[in-house]
Amino acid sequence: MIKESMVAADHKTAGCDDKTQQMLQQIKTVTIIGSGTMGNGICHVFAQHGFQVHLMDIKQEALDKALKTIGKNMDRQISKNALSEAEKADSLARIKTYTDMAEAVHDVDLVVEAATENIDLKVKIFQELDKLAPAKCILASNTSSISLTRIASHTSRPTQVIGMHFMNPVPVMKLVEIINGYATDDKVTEVIVNLSKFLGKVPCVVQDYPGFISNRILLPMINEAILALQEGVAGVEEIDTIMRLGMAHPMGPLQLADFIGLDTCYSIMNVLHMGFGNQKYAPATLLANMVQAGYLGVKSGEGFYKYTPGSKDMEVSKRFKR
């Protein structure tokens, strides 16, 4: 466990406007719930920008792994002259790990939940947070599709519940999709917008509809690519190449699905399908079958492509080779 720094948060406040200064008075200590890919990335960014960060997970092994990942990612920044060794050391010193939620959220100003994209799990977490976190604390979720209004309805502070959807990899990607629940207070939104800007991100505020904007547009495109593959219109490489070279996408939709996780894609499509009640959002049968069979993409080692540990090379899964 890394000890919390004995000094106050070291924010670089020169040139900050009044609203940002006010935000920094309100948000000093942040708890991140979940230390996976998104959680450790969010923790990394907050710590690097001078906040005291409590990283919470149910297993210490997961926390230890997250700290190693954060250290490695900071080393990449150092190699690109985006961070110094001293800044890395200071950032890591601001992170404290917890396996007990009550301790993790004691006297904090903001909680960002970054657990698995599962409505029942998120509701349970927010019910606990509502009981354990200080009354002043803002409760944010990194959810990519689940209704913030629904989550907030299970708390006694719906005005203080908001979505803060970071993109992966968090230290690199600039966007933060900020989602207002039906009852979210405008002042809370303003704080989170200014916070996102201070973190070097570009905030975009959207309203609480299934999939918000990012996944309402992205996931149906991915699902359509899977349907085209399912129907034999084209192969994996052809679909991805057409979208990369023809539409200037940095990554083809099937490769992107592998990186997101096919289980996550399937979950989000189900949220869209149920939320809108429209058959056009029904997940492809091929997607459902791959998830049921455990072919989840990068996380399982195989999806539309085959991934070899320790190698950046990938090849189309033999199931889709012609």
Q: DSSP string of 162-212?
A: EEEEE-SSTTT--EEEEEE-TT--HHHHHHHHHHHHHTT-EEEEEE-STTT
* 141 and 41 within one domain: yes
pLDDT of 18: 86
DSSP 117: S
* 76 and 162 within one domain: yes
* 162 and 98 within one domain: yes
DSSP string, 214-263: HHHHHHHHHHHHHHHHHTTSS-HHHHHHIIIIIH--SS-HHHHHHHH-HH
pLDDT single digits (tens) 13-24: 656 788 888 899
* 148 and 254 within one domain: no
Read off the CATH number of the domain in which 237 is found: 1.10.1040.10
Q: How many domains does the chain have?
A: 2
Q: Is the pLDDT of residue 97 over 80?
A: yes
| Residue 184: both structure tokens together | 């979210």
* 200 and 99 within one domain: yes
**Mean pLDDT score across all residues of the chain:** 94
Residue 117: which domain range? Answer: 18-207
Q: Is the pLDDT of residue 169 over 50?
A: yes
Q: Is the pLDDT of residue 1 over 70?
A: no
pLDDT single digits (tens) 187-220: 999 999 999 999 999 999 999 999 999 999 999 9
Read off the CATH number of the domain in which 194 is found: 3.40.50.720
267 vs 263: CA distance, rounded Å? 6
The answer to whether position 75 is within a domain reads: yes
pLDDT single digits (tens) 271-285: 999 999 999 999 999
* 248 and 176 within one domain: no
Q: What is the mean pLDDT of residues 32-54?
A: 97
The last residue of one of the domains, among 163, 183, 207, is 207
Q: What is the mean pLDDT of residues 250-268?
A: 96
The answer to whether position 231 is within a domain reads: yes
Q: 76 falls in which pLDDT band (50, 70, 90)? A: very high
The answer to whether position 10 is within a domain reads: no
The last residue of one of the domains, among 207, 229, 246, is 207
pLDDT single digits (tens) 114-166: 998 889 999 999 999 999 999 999 999 999 999 999 999 999 999 999 999 99
**Residue pair 196/164 in contact by the 8 Å Cβ criterion:** yes
Amino acid at 27: I
Does the N-terminal peptide bond of residue 169 adopt cis geometry, omega within 30 degrees of 0?
A: yes
Q: Is the pLDDT of residue 5 over 70?
A: no
The last residue of one of the domains, among 181, 207, 233, is 207
pTM (predicted TM-score)? 0.89
- Which residue reads 């200064």 in tokens? 21
pLDDT single digits (tens) 296-317: 999 999 999 999 887 778 899 9
> What CA dihedral angle connects 302, 38, 251 and 146, to 10 degrees?
90
The catalytic site residues sit at: 144, 165, 177, 215
